[in-house]
Structure 1
Amino acid sequence: MIGKLLELIEKSVEVNQDEKELITRLFHEKKYGKGDFFLNEGDVCRNVGFMVSGVMRYYINDDGEEKTYGFAQESDFICNNESFLPQQPSRQIIQSLEDCTVLVIGYDDLQKFYSSLKSGERFGRLVIEKVFVKTLQGLNSFYTDSPELRYEKFIKEYPDLLQRIPQYYIASYVGVKPQSLSRIRSRNLHKK
């Protein structure tokens, strides 16, 4: 399990054998059943996770309506940085859509990761930069792109999720009702 994580880290920074052993000690495997919460509304995000298998959904509860704003799948990191970094209660929710295996690291152990690995802080910065850019792109897309274009971007970003998650979550992510998503999908098929 840890091999996938080490492989990802080594694509960005150099890691020696002692550092690999430390990483192995700092991350712990955790299983989530379908429907389980990695983070619930009002809880403080205490962990960063690395997805080994499965799919999770990021969403907020807006007056009883769930609004999906992202997904995490294999080889993605999961966290609500807005809660994790200041250790404050979360408004966002992260829930498993399939059975998931996740390698988790707590806040204190992540600080150890940063300070003990020669390139630990650099790796953390690279991950956060990627999350930051993806967040800005999603925000910009929501305000400037049509639902059709957001759906096309979803297909490009998450091609294998079309068959793995319910359509109403995709509709929520695109910002439309499920019936509208059906029409968008139909028009999209006819374009090809």
Structure 2
Amino acid sequence: MVHSLLSAIENVVAITDSEKSLIAGLFRLKRFEAGDFFLREGEVCKQIGFIEKGLVRYFINDDGEEKIYSFSKENQFTSNYESFGPQKPSKQSIQVLEDSSIYVISFQDLEKFYAEVRNGERFGRIMMSEVFIETLQNLNSLYTDSPQTRYENFIRENADLQQRISQYYIASYVGVKPQSLSRIRKRISF
């Protein structure tokens, strides 16, 4: 239901009833099956999504090895802004991990959102700022935190995802092999 999308926007900026109708018309609900790609490496990202139900992973292919750098779940936006903004081919992939319902908006319709929703550009600026900050925090963590600390932080911040994501994917996100993640899990207890 588009209500979750509108609530997410209203949590950031005020929108009128007429703007809600406009926004509902700009986004369309798209269903994905587990394993589908929201975006493949080499494609141009042509949409931003809001996950109503489901889960996605973000990864790069490093010489045949997939390296996961993030996940998004319900009530979060998903896109590859590095590709979406300049409309250039993506170096990353976004794959759906569960059957998912995602509201999508095209590049052209997002421009309409910015132009016709009073606080549309402000919403976009705030969301991009959040994405930028999260990216910097993840990068800093990758360089400064041990795999155990990254795992502990992941579990603390995403307790609900532990049962939804394979240990193989969590290991990739933490930056270790699955066997090393097993050893880390044995050493700690939550």
Common fold by TM > 0.5? yes
The residue type equivalent to 2:127 in the other structure is V
Structure 1 gap segments, 5+ residues each: none
- Give 1:11 shift: 1.3
Q: Is 1:163 equivalent to 2:163 in the alignment?
A: yes
The residue type equivalent to 1:174 in the other structure is V
Q: Higher helix share goes to which structure?
A: 1
Q: Is 1:52 equivalent to 2:52 in the alignment?
A: yes
Distance in 1 (CA, whole Å) between partners of 2:9 and 2:132 is 18
The residue type equivalent to 2:177 in the other structure is K
RMSD of the alignment, in Å? Answer: 0.7
What is residue 15 of structure 2 aligned with on the other side?
Answer: 15
1:100-119 aligned within 5 A = 100-119=100-119
Distance in 2 (CA, whole Å) between partners of 1:117 and 1:12 is 13
Distance in 1 (CA, whole Å) between partners of 2:188 and 2:107 is 43
- Give 1:157 shift: 2.0
Q: TM-score, normalised by structure 1?
A: 0.98
User: Where in structure 1 do 4 or more consecutive aligned residues deviate above 3 Å?
Assistant: none
Distance in 2 (CA, whole Å) between partners of 1:157 and 1:114 is 31
Percent sequence identity over aligned pairs: 58
Structure 2 gap segments, 5+ residues each: none
- Give 1:117 shift: 0.5
Distance in 2 (CA, whole Å) between partners of 1:157 and 1:66 is 23
What is residue 62 of structure 2 aligned with on the other side?
Answer: 62
1:54-133 aligned within 5 A = 54-133=54-133
Distance in 2 (CA, whole Å) between partners of 1:162 and 1:181 is 13
1:18-57 aligned within 5 A = 18-57=18-57
- Give 1:158 shift: 1.3
- Give 1:34 shift: 0.4
Q: 1:12 aligns to what SS in structure 2?
A: coil
Distance in 1 (CA, whole Å) between partners of 2:11 and 2:55 is 23
Q: Alpha-carbon deviations, 1:20-76, whole Å to 9, x = none? A: 000000000000100000000100000000000111000001110000000010001
Q: 1:165 aligns to what SS in structure 2?
A: coil
Q: Alpha-carbon deviations, 1:151-183, whole Å to 9, x = none? A: 011112211110001100000000000000001
Q: 2:86 aligns to what SS in structure 1?
A: coil
- Give 1:8 shift: 1.0
| Matched length | 190
Q: 2:11 aligns to what SS in structure 1?
A: helix
